[in-house]
Amino acid sequence: MRFCATMVITRMEIRFFAILSDPTDEIMVAEIFLSIAEDHFQVPEDENIFFRSYFSIYPMIMTRIVQHIEEQSQVKYWELIEYMNNHNLKQRTPVFVGFKATKSGKIYAEMSVGIESPLS
């Protein structure tokens, strides 16, 4: 998996994306989510843009990448898949990757995936 875009992180913004294709494919298909700070938001009807005012995954499993994000993203992705397989968990959502920053400005990434509830 190679990230082609540079993500800019501030304390007020959280940017993330969902991996919609197999990350070993030559071209990765992703859904990108951006923060919007507007009192009014209007999307032209001919645009293929969907607006959501929240984001929540429950139940989920998650892993964090605190250094060497680009190199470790493949490792962590497959750790999530292996964990689901080893614990007989069924994947319910794509894998989401969120870029965040600590108060001191250190950037890290979180990968999460929704799973079916054991009570389902």
**What local confidence, expressed as pLDDT, does residue 1 receive?**
41
pLDDT value, residue 53: 61
Q: Where are the domains of the chain?
A: 1-35+54-120
Q: What is the pTM of this model?
A: 0.68
| Contact between 9 and 101 (Cβ < 8 Å) | yes
pLDDT in tens, 27-38: 878 887 766 666
| Terminal-residue alpha carbon distance, the chain | 32
Across the chain, which has 120 residues, the per-10-residue mean pLDDT values are 41 67 84 70 74 76 94 93 95 91 91 84
CA–CA separation, 7 vs 105, rounded Å? 14
